[in-house]
Amino acid sequence: MSIYWSVLTVLLLLGITAPTALAFGFAGASATRSRIAPVSWLGRGYIAVVRGVPDIAFFLFFVIALDQVIEATRHHVLCPDWVEPIRQGSDFVVCQAAKMPQGNAPQWVHESYGFAIAVFTFAIVFGAFAANVIQGAMAAVPRGQIETGESYGMTSRQTFWRILVPQMWVYALPGLSNLWMVLIKATPLLFLLGIQDIVYWARELGGIKTSRFTDYPHGDWRMWYFLALLVFYLIFTRVSEITLERLMTRLTRGQATTTGEAQRKAGTT
């Protein structure tokens, strides 16, 4: 049964991470365009740092780091009269009240806390990549379009929201759809973050015996389980490819690009 839930977990992760990462990316990209220098630096710094660090090391690092930062912060706030240092040799000690989640919390809180941290990590990492794509897309919107807006007497805020943002999506979409593919393929890494996802269950259920049950009535089926996962991901990417293709055709309608122009001509003749 749990393997079906874990498929839902993966889909849920995609469903939550994609918009969050997009929001992060949008915020990052808008920040780099800001006229206030520190805000712009912040945006640029975020993109540069996260993109520069190699892949799964970031995932492994960030989950523990985030956990410890949260606990340490709570420790300082909740138990100010604690004198011993937090790091004692190879132990990380915080006071009872600062434990996150609380030691006596039910199981589902622990699980969803882990899941939330994983989602946050994914969102930060993919947000940086999305920011890079969106930044490029904003720069790709023809300058004349914005000048037209300005000549109509729009403020810079109005040109940003009414002209730049609606037009940039068509330039951002190829990059974003690429990112979506990468995101789909990054979901098995949930397993490394200690979430019981499909990889975990494929290993458990396929094996001859598991930690919990003694024996399964079948031999080593892990190969077939992983074949099924492989096919699942293949179908998933293929479906996304086709959907994104359709979306692209829809978005280019009436745009000042080569494809948009070709569509217009095909429509009139």
Partner 1 sequence: MNACVQTIADYGLRAIGIGKRLLPREDFTLCEQFTLIGSGMIWNVYFGVLALIAGFGFATLLALGKASNTKTVRKPSEWFIFLFRGSPLFIQFFFGYFLFLKLKTVFPIFAPFTAAWLGALVVLFFNTSAYTAEIFYGALRSIPKGDIEAADAYGLSGWSRFKHVIWPTMLRLAWPAYTNEAIFLFHATTLVFFSGFPAWQQRGDALYYASYFADKTFNPFIPYPILASYFILLTLCVIGLFSIVNRRLNRHLPANTRQRLRIRPNLIR
Q: How far apart are CA 161 and CA 127, in angstroms?
A: 20
C-alpha distances in angstroms, 269 versus 248, 262, 263, 265?
22, 11, 10, 6
Dist CA 167 CA 174 (whole Å): 14
Residue 220 phi, psi dihedral angles, 5° rounding: -80, 100
Position 141 contacts partner 1 (CB under 8 A): no
One residue of 205, 226, 251, 260 binding partner 1 per CB under 8 A: 226
Q: Contact with partner 1 (CB under 8 A): which of 94, 98, 117, 125?
A: 125
* Least spacing, CB of residue 110 vs partner 1, in Å: 18
Q: CA 185, CA 58: separation in Å to the nearest integer?
A: 16
Q: Which is nearer to partner 1, 164 or 183 (CB)?
A: 183
- The verdict on 222 binding partner 1 (CB under 8 A) reads yes
User: Which amino acid, one-letter code, is at 143?
Assistant: R
Q: Is 49 in the site for partner 1 (CB under 8 A)?
A: no
> Is 137 in contact with 175 (CB distance < 8 Å)?
yes
Euclidean distance between CA atoms 254 and 248, whole angstroms: 12
Should residue 180 be labelled a site residue for partner 1 when binding is judged by CB under 8 A? Answer: no
Phi, psi of 88 (to 5 degrees): -115, 100
Query: Which is nearer to partner 1, 16 or 229 (by Cβ)?
Result: 229
In the complex, least distance from residue 4 CB atom to partner 1, rounded to whole angstroms: 18
247-260 b/e with 16+ CB inside 10 Å = b? eeeebbeebebeeb
Give the binding range for partner 1 (CB under 8 A) out of 61-69, 111-119, 137-145, 150-158: 61-69
Among 81, 84, 91, 215, binds partner 1 (CB under 8 A): 91
Binding mask 227-246 for partner 1 (x = CB under 8 A): x-xx--xx--xx--------
Binding-site ranges for partner 1 (CB under 8 A): 51-57, 60-61, 64-65, 68, 87, 90-92, 125-126, 129, 182, 184-189, 191-192, 199, 202-203, 206, 220, 222-223, 226-227, 229-230, 233-234, 237-238
